[in-house]
Amino acid sequence: MYIALSLVHVLIASGLILMVLLQSGKGADIGAAFGGGSSQTVFGGRGAATFLSKATTVLAVLFMVMSIALTLLASQRGGTTVVPEERPKPTASAPAVPAPQPSAPAPAPAAPAAPSK
């Protein structure tokens, strides 16, 4: 169930990203960048809500609800781990492996002979 809800959550997030990218910004005209246009408000006129803006709102609400639901489910799930809490003790029947012995040190290099004349 948790995995299925996570997959739905990823699909909702992908759809939300797509809806936001498909919309054009409020200041999409080049004239709006230089103060042109007939807007009397600070952020420009809102205009009628389009299908994309309504779909974005719905997907945003679904994304938030799914995030909260997944958080609640994750907090109620029992934490599982692959690491056991106690390590198993070695049995006495297994022979112990001796530690490798260091090799003998290499002989020191001989001193160079004095040059003869």
Q: How many domains does the chain have?
A: 1
- Residue 10 sits in which domain range? 1-22+51-76
Measured at the CA of 85, the angle between CA 84 and CA 87, to 5 degrees, comes to: 70
45 part of a folded domain? no
103 part of a folded domain? no
20-24 own/partner pairs: CB under 8 Å, 24+ apart: 20/56, 22/52, 23/50, 23/52, 23/53, 23/56
Residue range 61-87, pLDDT digits in tens: 999 999 999 999 888 877 667 777 777
Residue range 97-117, pLDDT digits in tens: 666 677 767 677 777 767 766
Q: What's the predicted TM-score (pTM) here?
A: 0.52
91 part of a folded domain? no
68 part of a folded domain? yes
Q: Which amino acid is at 66?
A: M
15 part of a folded domain? yes
Say how far apart CA 17 and CA 56 lie, in whole Å.
9
5 part of a folded domain? yes
